[in-house]
Chains A and B, each alone.
Chain A
Amino acid sequence: MNPAPSEIRLSDLTICHDRRPAVHHLSGRFAPGSLTAVVGPNGAGKTTLLRALAGLHRPQSGRIEGLPRPAGIALLPQQAAIDRGFPVTCRDVVLLGLWAETGPFRAVPREGQARAALALEAVGLGGFGARPIGSLSAGQFQRVLFARLLLQDAPVILLDEPFNALDARTVADLLGVVRRWHGEGRTVIAVLHDLDLVRREFPDTLLLAREGLGWGPTEAVLTAPNRLRARMMAEAWATDAAACGRPLRASAA
């Protein structure tokens, strides 16, 4: 891993998605090497925040500082965003993880092929290199995407709902990979829904309901009053809140 991650600071960050405010006036910091879960109700802006960290959304206002870019960030997009019917092999998908080294034109070095094979083995898919991705189960495909993250070898790793709709065995194996990244000092930020899993595995949590309702040690954030507040805010969102940069208008509280 090169270089070591630095602190990622968000100051008064507002991000719009589809011309509507998705994340509102969020401030805080991801410590270097931290393992943070981003949780919150549906539509809370979790994915938008992750995509902004990955450089896919430009903030409407406020700043993100301390991000290595773009080679220093590895993003796991939601599986639904990827065309699983596309005619490529597992090896080809994993090799995309070398983009920072090969770019669009350079050939993949022999050593890269070996690394791809090792990465597939590390996620329990040894020998799957030549298999087309269309023949994989959802769990196996997620393992392939984790292998691609391994090849990216980035100091900052962003995971968007990495364990959705996966069986317990796959979740356990992939959590092992996440723990390893944490042990190696990488900054890992994951959007998650399973609060039990968050409590068990993630030391830090950001509770998001467009605004940040809590950010810090998981037990201190995931309190019953905080979660109730998040739910109430989700129900109170105005559908016509179009003005970014101004406080969100609540239709009924």
Chain B
Amino acid sequence: MLLDPFLEFGFLRRALVGCLALSVAAPPLGVFLVLRRMSLTADVLAHGILPGVAVAFLIAGLSVPALAIGGLVAGLVVAVGAGALSRATGGREDASFAALYLVALALGVALVSWRGGGLELNQILFGSALGVDDAALLLMAGVATLTLGVLAFAWRPLVLECLDPAFGASVGAGGAWWHLSFMALLVLNLIAAFQALGTLMAVGLMMLPAIAARHWSRGVGGMAVAAVVLAVAASVAGLLVSYHLDVPSGPAVVLAAGAGWAVSVLAGPVEGLLPRLLAAQRRHLTG
């Protein structure tokens, strides 16, 4: 009964497949961002891809390959540019990121509004999981496959780069290259996600499960698995809520991920509020 809408409607099945593809690939990347204390970077990059998407839209309309290429170029420019700018001028990287993303967001909205109407702007900012076409599905599945492959390959260097970059550099682990590949994967996942969730929501399915995951495991691998499970659950629940309550699908999926985060903070076995309270009470009673 729960799955009836998915069995009945093709567009809902496509939305589910798209969101599941995002759910298995993006959250592990989010876990690495959280561990590197770069949780806001994904948000910045998601806004950073907007001018590229907008230029592509001006040239080719709402064509998936064109939007993806435009977004990839703009995202990599922001990702690499912020670091290079702060190194060249001695400023802080987070400040360069903030400046670039504010400009990028304004520029993107201005460009899209210049030629397109409210409908196109809405599509680009908020996406439409229910309007995912074949090209977008292929992009999502392709990006997910690539991400999982690269993560399996680069797991150890990525962990080392997060934990102790100086040691990594001293043993010649090539940290900069792994970091760059990681940033490229990040941008690709945001582009894949923005087809379904829009630029403003694309980060939701990546970061919320990743942030919640630390309440379910004490290891990096366990956190990645927990994040994927949470994201899959949020995708299914969000699409069902969207269907039954007639809410836009993007916000519904992200809200479902938010609910997963709230439950994790409250009841997660690792430093969740309730388990901590119970443990304190037990200590009080036995002590």
Contact = CB atoms under 8 A, between A and B. Distances in A.
Do the two shown chains form a genuine complex with each other? yes
Interface of A: 18-19, 51, 54-56, 69-71, 73-75, 77, 81-83, 86-89, 93, 96, 99-100, 104-105, 132, 148, 152, 158
A99 B159 CA distance: 13
B163 A55 contact: no
A87 B160 contact: no
B163 A99 contact: no
B173 A104 contact: yes
B219 A73 contact: no
Nearest to A70: B172
A87 B157 contact: no
Q: Is the interface of B mostly helix, strand, loop or mixed?
A: helix
A86 B160 contact: no
7 contacts: A77-B167, A81-B164, A82-B167, A83-B37, A87-B223, A96-B171, A158-B170
Given A83-B162, A104-B157, A88 B170 contact: no
Contacts, number: 75
A82 B160 CA distance: 10
Interface in B194-246: 214, 217-220, 223
B163 A51 contact: no
B234 to A, nearest CB: 22
Given A71-B171, A96-B163, 15 more contacts: A55-B172, A56-B170, A73-B170, A74-B170, A81-B166, A82-B164, A82-B167, A83-B164, A87-B35, A87-B218, A87-B220, A88-B220, A93-B164, A96-B164, A96-B167
Interface of B: 35, 37, 90, 153-154, 156-157, 159-160, 162-167, 169-174, 214, 217-220, 223
A132 B163 contact: no
A86 B218 CA distance: 9
A228 B153 CA distance: 54
Nearest to B166: A77
